[in-house]
């Protein structure tokens, strides 16, 4: 994403083989290995591994050895079944301090078997070549700030450090607002601002994790995402870990309270009606039972709109009382049904029927329908982009090791963006341009951009050597991205106006932002008006 910010020396892509390029024995269970920090490991980073396999390891552990197959393992971890993706996974963050280890190494990875059966296929170690690059990462230290409501953690040299005063003021404001609407729960919140995209930009582990980046490819309103996650953090004070409302209510409550999912205000009822019109509306019992496997944006819009409907019909306070009073049941749908019966004396089916009746009376604005369709499609592509270009950022495969331990051990590299190649920056700029065109009602232009992104992702999947080249539109963006990078700036967004372009950039060290005009001449893109790089 923002190479120049994080590297003291100019970054040049190294010849690190991708895990998928590494040799595997066809008769052995396939192990998919990702190395972290993703993108490049520089001397001084603490190396971590994520290992996946479709093969049931049958209780065997993963072992990792370094350089000698007969040496003692540097790390060992058990596999767990990943419910979202259906495969087995073992995670080993921070297993090897690579200080002073620049150069080539070999990892030997195998499944540990009991010694009596040591000849099983799992015991044959797989070898993975690994290149540690010379130290070039600019050190980023953890910083902490405190305000009345919250503790904040962020990294030095990132956009959150630059903007921390404003972020604190905004968080305080949201907190005050939430406290009034959540019944004065007043918990102290822990919020971590990180300069790379995790999931859709926000999530709650033990702490609230918020992606805060100058080049925000989601096009979402940061404060809406912040309020959404703060709602979850607030909610945590109501519930025992084993007794929470079903996800459809937890997420629906956060969307309703925030007044929208990615933006606010969002006309949630109209957007739910748009889901019906476009065939993206799921029956509520189904959605409740498989909330995270449903299309993400559709699920959140529907859940938020449903909670808003309940609040409109029964009042905010009664919905809050229901939300704070979860019932355990065999399935999330059954829990939701019981909660609605207890608090409103209606079944889920009755509530859904009443809601659908009110939605049928709505004729959503055609632009609203197009925007809902665009949002679903764009975020599906964005998640594919994360899977293909930024493993560890994808919502079901996050590489986000314990942030409190990272602070104690002064580890930061895992939370910084990967050194970005021109290819991924170009794609990110395209995502933004598509969102901007959609926001301006330029639907054919936004569709054209999504189509270009789709072709590039598909080419990347097929391992086409230069995926950007499949789209002339993307190629046009890449030429300017390259010129801007060559000038020593980081492009944040680009808008073309004929042979001229307006580019928002930032200076990589100071992170100061600037808007620049660029001209396309015979010799390629140059700064307008003779401005030098």
Residues forming contacts to Zn ion in the complex (CB under 5 A) are 251, 254
Nearer to Zn ion, 226 or 274 (CB): 226
Nearer to Zn ion, 215 or 271 (CB): 271
What gap in Å lies between CA 491 and CA 533, rounded to an integer? 13
Nearest residue to 233 (alpha-carbon basis) of 182, 167, 289: 182
At its nearest, how many Å lie between Zn ion and the CB of residue 251? 5
Nearer to Zn ion, 284 or 427 (CB): 284
At its nearest, how many Å lie between Zn ion and the CB of residue 257? 11
What gap in Å lies between CA 239 and CA 245, rounded to an integer? 8
Nearer to Zn ion, 178 or 254 (CB): 254
At its nearest, how many Å lie between Zn ion and the CB of residue 231? 8
How would you classify residue 259: left for phi > 0, otherwise alpha for psi between -120 and 50, otherwise beta?
A: left
Query: What is the chain's alpha carbon radius of gyration, rounded to the nearest angstrom?
Result: 25
At its nearest, how many Å lie between Zn ion and the CB of residue 146? 25
At its nearest, how many Å lie between Zn ion and the CB of residue 285? 21
At its nearest, how many Å lie between Zn ion and the CB of residue 355? 21
Nearer to Zn ion, 48 or 332 (CB): 332
At its nearest, how many Å lie between Zn ion and the CB of residue 148? 24
DSSP 345: S
At its nearest, how many Å lie between Zn ion and the CB of residue 398? 14
Nearer to Zn ion, 38 or 238 (CB): 238
Kindly give the residue spans of alpha helices, DSSP state H, lying in 146-206: 159-162, 164-181
Give every strand in the sheet of 41-42, ordered side by side.
41-42, 126-133, 103-112, 61-66, 75-78
How would you classify residue 59: left for phi > 0, otherwise alpha for psi between -120 and 50, otherwise beta?
A: left
What gap in Å lies between CA 382 and CA 216, rounded to an integer? 12
Question: Residue with structure tokens 């992104």?
Answer: 453
Q: Is the dihedral of CA 439, 445, 446, 449 positive or negative?
A: negative
What gap in Å lies between CA 501 and CA 317, rounded to an integer? 51
Angle at 33 between CA 31 and CA 39, to 5 degrees: 160
Nearer to Zn ion, 137 or 261 (CB): 261
Nearer to Zn ion, 31 or 249 (CB): 249
Nearer to Zn ion, 118 or 205 (CB): 205
Q: At 99, phi and psi to the nearest 5?
A: -55, 130
Nearer to Zn ion, 33 or 203 (CB): 203
At its nearest, how many Å lie between Zn ion and the CB of residue 244? 12
Strand, helix or coil for residue 448: helix
At its nearest, how many Å lie between Zn ion and the CB of residue 254? 5
At its nearest, how many Å lie between Zn ion and the CB of residue 348? 21
What gap in Å lies between CA 505 and CA 524, rounded to an integer? 18
How would you classify residue 314: left for phi > 0, otherwise alpha for psi between -120 and 50, otherwise beta?
A: alpha
CA atoms within 13 A on the CB side of 432: 21
Give the pairing type, strands 524-527 and 41-42.
unpaired
At its nearest, how many Å lie between Zn ion and the CB of residue 182? 15
At its nearest, how many Å lie between Zn ion and the CB of residue 239? 14
Please state, in angstroms and as integers, the Cα–Cα distance from residue 142 to each residue in 138, 173, 216, 437, following that order: 13, 24, 22, 37
Q: At 447, phi and psi to the nearest 5?
A: -65, -40
Nearer to Zn ion, 303 or 468 (CB): 303
What gap in Å lies between CA 225 and CA 200, rounded to an integer? 9
Q: How far apart are the first and last CA of the chain?
A: 21
Torsion of CA 459, 400, 414, 16, to 10 degrees: -40
How would you classify residue 58: left for phi > 0, otherwise alpha for psi between -120 and 50, otherwise beta?
A: left
């Amino acid at each position: 994403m923002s190479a120049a910010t994080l590297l003291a020396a100019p970054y040049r892509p190294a010849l690190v083989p991708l895990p998928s390029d590494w040799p595997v024995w066809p008769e052995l269970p396939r192990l998919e290995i990702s190395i972290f920090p993703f993108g490049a490991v520089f001397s001084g980073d603490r190396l971590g591994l994520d290992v996946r396999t479709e093969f049931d390891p049958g209780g065997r552990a993963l072992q990792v050895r370094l350089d000698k197959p007969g040496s003692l393992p540097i790390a060992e971890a058990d596999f767990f079944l990943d419910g979202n993706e259906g495969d087995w996974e073992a995670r080993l963050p921070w297993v090897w301090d690579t200080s002073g280890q620049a150069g080539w190494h070999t990892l030997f990875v195998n499944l540990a078997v009991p010694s009596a059966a040591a000849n099983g296929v799992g015991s044959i170690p797989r070898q993975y070549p690994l290149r540690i690059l010379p130290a070039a990462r600019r050190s980023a230290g953890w910083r902490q700030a405190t305000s009345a409501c919250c503790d904040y953690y962020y990294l030095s040299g990132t956009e959150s450090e630059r903007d921390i005063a404003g972020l604190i003021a905004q968080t305080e404001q949201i907190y005050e607002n939430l406290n009034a609407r959540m019944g004065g729960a007043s918990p102290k919140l822990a919020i971590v601002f990180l300069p790379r995209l995790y999931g859709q930009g926000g999530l709650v582990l033990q702490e609230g994790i918020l992606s805060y980046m100058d080049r925000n490819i989601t096009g979402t309103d940061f404060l809406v995402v912040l309020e959404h996650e703060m709602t979850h953090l607030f909610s945590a004070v109501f519930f025992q870990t084993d007794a929470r409302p079903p996800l459809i209510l937890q997420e629906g409550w956060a969307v309703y309270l925030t007044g929208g999912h990615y933006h606010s205000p969002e006309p949630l009822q109209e957007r739910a009606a748009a889901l019906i019109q476009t065939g993206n509306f799921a029956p509520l019992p189904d959605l409740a039972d498989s909330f995270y496997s449903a299309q993400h944006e559709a699920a959140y819009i529907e859940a938020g709109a449903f909670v808003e409907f309940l609040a409109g019909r029964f009042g905010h306070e009664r919905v809050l009382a229901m939300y704070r009073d979860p019932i355990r049941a065999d399935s999330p749908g059954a829990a939701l049904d019981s909660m609605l019966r207890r608090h409103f004396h209606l079944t889920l089916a009755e509530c859904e029927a009443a809601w659908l009746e009110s939605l049928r009376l709505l004729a959503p604005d055609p632009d609203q329908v197009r925007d809902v369709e665009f949002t679903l499609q764009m975020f599906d592509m964005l998640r594919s982009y994360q899977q293909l270009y930024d493993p560890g950022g994808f919502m079901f495969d996050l590489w986000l090791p314990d942030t409190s331990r990272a602070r104690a051990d002064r580890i930061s590299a895992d939370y910084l963006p990967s050194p970005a190649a021109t290819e991924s920056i170009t794609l990110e700029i395209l995502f933004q341009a598509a969102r901007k065109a959609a926001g301006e009602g330029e639907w054919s232009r936004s569709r054209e951009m999504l189509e270009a992104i789709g072709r590039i992702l598909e080419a990347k999947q097929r391992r086409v050597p230069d995926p950007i080249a499949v789209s002339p539109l993307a190629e046009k963006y890449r030429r300017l991205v390259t010129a801007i990078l060559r000038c020593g700036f980081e492009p944040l967004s680009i808008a073309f106006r004929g042979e001229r372009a307006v580019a928002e950039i930032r200076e990589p060290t100071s992170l100061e932002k600037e808007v620049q005009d660029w001209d396309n001449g015979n010799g390629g893109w140059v700064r307008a008006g003779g401005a030098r790089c």
